[in-house]
Structure 1
Amino acid sequence: MKKVAVINDLSGFGKCSLSVALPIISVLGSQCVPLATAVFTSQTDFSYYYYTDLTDMIDKYIEYWKLNNASFDGIYSGYVTNHGQALLVSKFIDQFKTDKTKILIDPVMGDNGTTFKMFTNELLNTHKELTKKANIITPNLTESCLLADIPITSIAKCNNDKDSLLELAIKAANILKARANNDQEVIITGINTAIDNDHVVYNLVSDANGDHFTSTPMINKRFSGTGDIFASIITGLIMKDVDTLSAVKKAQDFIVSCINDTPDTTNPSDGVYFEKHLKDL
């Protein structure tokens, strides 16, 4: 059985990060080996939460996993709380990556043209170096612009125009591919557009063969954790040697089904009802 090291936080309430990666990667047939970067009572979209930062423990994960001769077929890194953690993720990859290891990095920094509260320029610079080590990266449009040194104000200037937004995504993706140290695939997620008042969400898969878009209708609901579900599905499927474009289509369709099955009365911070759909993966 293939093993995937998943570097992310663990939240009590709120279906995100490790709490979705563990079941999704497992149901897709790989062993999910968690490395917790922090433990939260509830994920940060809730008004009140308490957390314990585990940055100091990451070196111990590396040290003791090396002593136990750990090896990984895949490494998936998601949310990191600070610049120091990002440096340790880079160290982890250097310690455990082999020629056969597939690396997926989700560089969580912002969304919808704004940065998250943990964002710093120091964190951005570290993510720029970290993402170069990945086979696949899954930024949203905001994060791809940050990584590519494109002003995030460019997103608002597109004024929801489909062609302008898709061109911006392609520009960012090709900058990132050129900077990477391998044949990197860039997946830019959640590109929201408006066509004749019908909202559409695009995902861009940019690889050595060109730029490919997938799309789904925009659902007028917002739930936390869908990005983590998306990246977890991509990780699980590439461990099964599914091509990236097919994996993206599977992931987006799964998320749409989960959102449609989640009652309108659900607190968006709780996340989507994904559990009973796991069998569909």
Structure 2
Amino acid sequence: MTEQRHILLVNDLPGVGKVATAAMEPVLSHMGFSVALLPTALVSNTLDFGTFEILDTCEYMKKTADVWKKLDFRFDAICIGFINSPEQIGIIRELIENQRETLRFVIADTIMADEGKLYNGMTGKNVESMREMIRYADVITPNLTEALLLAGEDPEQYDSLSHREIGCVMRKLREFGARSVILTSCHVPSEDRYFVYGYDAGSRSVFRVPYELKGTRCPGTGDIFSAVLTGGLMNGKTLEDSTREAVRFMSGMFEYLGDREPGYMGFPIEAYLAELR
């Protein structure tokens, strides 16, 4: 019998909507992993509705991490998403340090901004906290806006960078301590195409994967991308191959949606899991 592999999701837990842990857990479970959750916040519903309630879980995270340390729970990978407060960074850092004996990967999605600006409620302190977090991750997956903020650059130029300039952003992130880097939502105006860019620290190789931008907006897209990427890495694929599989899956997901609008609920991921390789 194959030994069970355990992945910890450190992300928010929504009551309604397929985002964050609610979107990632079905993907990773379908891929054969045992999934544990450490919620960074309890969220009533996806934020796209405009009205929501968020309960910070910082104290719960501290106590849970202490209990898990006593029980010697071990994880093969930790996948980090939304961080509700800068104080949670220290909790996550200590958790990673305590798990280093068994950890194969730490993947961090630096959720804080998009389309040239920070999300509502996010400040410069969040950027500083995320900049600290990337030093503890093996792979980071910011979108280009988040990458520019982390690199200390103007995020409003997210839609106007050249291929060379995007490469410079990746190098700056590595100067801040990032190892492998995946940049999503990269529009290159000179080619009028969208790409996911990547740098693999293991092979020291740079790659990019083209994709078509679909008009349909779907909450939780980044969470599903991170889950497929994490599953690929855990299954022994290279970072580039894992990225290509995540892009393929996401592209097919939007093809499956067609003209149907998922609204604010997120993608009905269970209906599409059979397409995972």
Mapped pair 1:176 → 2:173: yes
**Which of 173, 181, 187 does residue 192 from structure 1 map onto?**
187
Match of 2:140?
137
Q: Which amino acid aligns with 2:198?
A: V
Q: In structure 2, how many angstroms separate the alpha carbons of the residues matched to 1:166 and 1:98?
A: 38
**Is 1:37 the equivalent of 2:34?**
no
RMSD: 1.8
1:72 aligned partner: 75
Q: 117-126 or 130-139: which moved more? A: 117-126
Paired residues of 1:81 and 1:118 also in contact (CA < 8 A): no
Q: Secondary structure at the residue paired with 1:268?
A: coil
* 1:242 paired residue number: 237
* Paired positions, count: 271
* Structure 2 partner of 1:206: 199
Match 1:84 to one of 63, 83, 87? 87
* Contact 1:30–1:239 under 8 Å retained in 2: no
Note if contact 1:28-1:237 (Cα within 8 Å) is conserved in structure 2.
no
Greater shift after overlay, 45-54 or 94-103?
94-103
Contact 1:203 1:215 in 2 (8 A): yes
SS in 1 for 2:136: coil
**Letter matched to residue 174 of structure 2:** K
The question of whether the paired residues in 2 share the 8 Å contact of 1:72 and 1:97 is answered with: no
Question: Alignment partner of 1:249: what SS?
Answer: helix
Aligned identity (percent) is 24
Q: Please say if 1:272 is aligned against 2:275.
A: no
Q: 1:118 to 1:87 in 2, by over 3 A?
A: farther
Equivalent-residue separation in structure 1 for 2:244 and 2:224 (angstroms): 13
Q: 1:98-152 CA deviation, whole Å, 9 max, x = no partner? A: 3743110111110111111132222211111111111100000011111111121
* 1:108 lines up with 2:111 in the alignment: yes
Contact 2:229 2:243 in 1 (8 A): yes
Residue in structure 1 matched with residue 11 of structure 2 by the alignment: 8
Structure 1 counterpart of 2:50: 47
For structure 1, the residue ranges without an aligned partner over 5 or more in a row are: 159-163
Shift of 1:272: 2.1
Partners of 1:99 and 1:167 in 2: CA distance? 37
SS at the partner of 2:209? strand
Greater shift, 261-270 or 48-57, is seen at 261-270
Which amino acid is 2:268 matched to?
Y
Moved runs in structure 1, 4+ residues, more than 6 A? none
> TM-score, normalization: structure 2?
0.91
What is the TM-score of this pair, normalised by structure 1?
A: 0.90
